[in-house]
Amino acid sequence: MSYGISQTPSSLTITLAAKTRDELYRDAATAALEAAYGGAPPAGSSDGQTCPVQGAGLGEGDILRTFVTKCIEAARQAPGTLHAPRWFAFDEGRVTANLALSTPKTPARSLDPALHGAFETAGAFPDFRATLAFSFPSR
């Protein structure tokens, strides 16, 4: 596993380290869904439906940030429970994945990008690292 999730009562941080682009986005999707669901998504019944998610931007950091944010949003909005994809499509400035969808729906938490230090990257493949910080909305 090349990702980690740490949590306090008011925030959550995802850290990623990857040697390849495929590994980075596979772990980013897995970590984003675990963050949204509060743990690994439970297995369920699937009829082959998927939920498309796309991250886009000018650089790898922007693409990753939007991809993780879209995975978390999709977990809240999907009619079922989402699971990490088996494949990705990489284009210039964009990555697309189809997240597997199963039933029943697992409740997902709301997470907002943190206001300060929300996103940092370092290195390049094969030593790419990223940190994404989120806060739990005030109730």
**pTM: predicted TM-score of the whole model, two decimal places:** 0.92
| Domains recognised in the chain with CATH numbers | 3-135 (3.55.10)
CB–CB of 67/54 below 8 Å? yes
Give the model confidence (pLDDT) of 55-106 as tens digits: 999 988 899 999 999 999 999 999 999 999 988 999 999 999 999 999 999 9
For residue 39, count CB atoms less than 10 angstroms from its CB and return exposed for 0-12, middle for 13-18, buried for 19 or more: exposed
pLDDT range class, residue 113, cuts 50, 70, 90: confident
Instruction: Look at residue 56 and give its three-state secondary structure.
Output: strand
- Phi, psi values for residue 90, rounded to 5°: -110, 125
